[in-house]
Homo-oligomer: A and B are copies of this chain.
Amino acid sequence: MRFDVTILGSSSATPIYNRNPTAQALNINERFYLIDCGEGTQQQMLRFDIKSSRIDYIFISHLHGDHYLGLVGLLSSLHLNGRKKPLTLFGPPHLKEIIDIQFKYSETTLHFELIFYPTNAEKAEVILDNQDITVETIILDHRVACTGFLFRQKRRLRKINKEKADELEVPVTYYSILKRGVDYLTTDGQVHPNSELTTPADEPMAYAYCSDTLYNESYFKQIANVDLLYHEATFAHAMLDRANETHHTTALQAGEIARLTGAKKLLIGHFSARYKTLTELLDEARSVFPETELAIEGKNFIIGN
């Protein structure tokens, strides 16, 4: 099962040339889960060939413009491009009001159902549980109500025992079915139990998305041992006072968080426009957590498979 994330935007409040405001497209089993939707997200999806028609869920962390200003444009385009299937949106309660007023004055009635679930920034809870994953909110500590999102795979795929499969001349087209645990039925009606042809799946993987927040231990336990942690790192640690004042995290703190929570890998993003190059931030996070990467536009990171 595919489980990876493509970065569509990495900048904080103000965009700079080549850095767009926050948005990420999570591909889980060939369905897209869009996390945040800063201005220009739909253009970024065109640029990086992420089919917006395949978005089934959108998650908005909070109501600062750099995290949601691309939403109405994206919804409009989906509408104009003939979308019929429902779309589920999670976000702060007032987000609906912001969308409604704009569609009211543009006299737009969406051709698809927009199902809105308001998030609660007071209490972490499971907000989605479908066949592939569960999603929990993470209570963050920002200037306005803000939640992160924790995506946990429900199951992973069993692994093909290639030697045995070759021996039984299993057609390659059958592999995806075997990986899901189904027994193998030969053309002459013989049944081979799945366990003969596959080995157990690895543990389910998890992705935690934490933006925007002050360094605050309250959510550390919840995100323990995730396979990939995205954490904002707006400033270098030299600007700790500014980070505290604006309720943001420094790159050093992001590295610390990854280390303390036992993350396998860390992605940092939401960079302040003052950093024209990002080496300083990357080096700083790596000084405490070597497995750190920059959440740069267009880059894809595999969480599991």
Chain A residues with CB under 8 Å of chain B are: 13-17, 20-21, 39-40, 42-43, 46-47, 63-66, 69-70, 72-73, 76-77, 80-81, 92, 94, 97-98, 101-102, 105-107, 143-144
A143 touches B46 (CB 8 A): no
Q: How far is the CA of A123 from the CA of B80 in the complex (A)?
A: 31
Q: How far is the CA of A80 from the CA of B94 in the complex (A)?
A: 23
Known contacts A69-B73, A70-B39, A72-B65, A46 near B16 by CB under 8 Å = yes
A65 touches B102 (CB 8 A): yes
B47 touches A43 (CB 8 A): no
A43 touches B40 (CB 8 A): yes
Chain B residues with Cβ below 8 Å from A144 are 105-107
Q: How far is the CA of A69 from the CA of B103 in the complex (A)?
A: 12
Chain B residues with Cβ below 8 Å from A21 are 73
Residue of B nearest to A74 (CB): B39
Residue of B nearest to A16 (CB): B46
Chain B residues with Cβ below 8 Å from A77 are 13-15
Chain B residues with Cβ below 8 Å from A98 are 101-102, 105
List 11 A-B residue pairs with CB atoms under 8 Å apart, sorted by A's residue number: A13-B77, A14-B76, A14-B77, A20-B43, A39-B40, A39-B70, A63-B106, A64-B106, A69-B72, A92-B105, A97-B101
8 more contacts with CB within 8 A, not counting A66-B73, A69-B69, A98-B105, are: A16-B46, A17-B43, A39-B42, A39-B43, A39-B73, A65-B72, A65-B102, A98-B102
Q: How far is the CA of A47 from the CA of B43 in the complex (A)?
A: 14
Q: Which of A65, A92, A144 has most chain B Cβ within 10 Å?
A: A65
Q: How far is the CA of A69 from the CA of B76 in the complex (A)?
A: 11
Top 3 nearest A-B pairs (CB, nearest first) are A39-B73, A40-B40, A14-B77
Chain B residues with Cβ below 8 Å from A105 are 63, 92, 94, 97-98, 144
Chain B residues with Cβ below 8 Å from A97 are 101, 105
Nearest CB on B from A62, distance (A): 8
B47 touches A107 (CB 8 A): no
Residue of B nearest to A93 (CB): B105
Nearest CB on B from A98, distance (A): 6
Nearest CB on B from A215, distance (A): 21
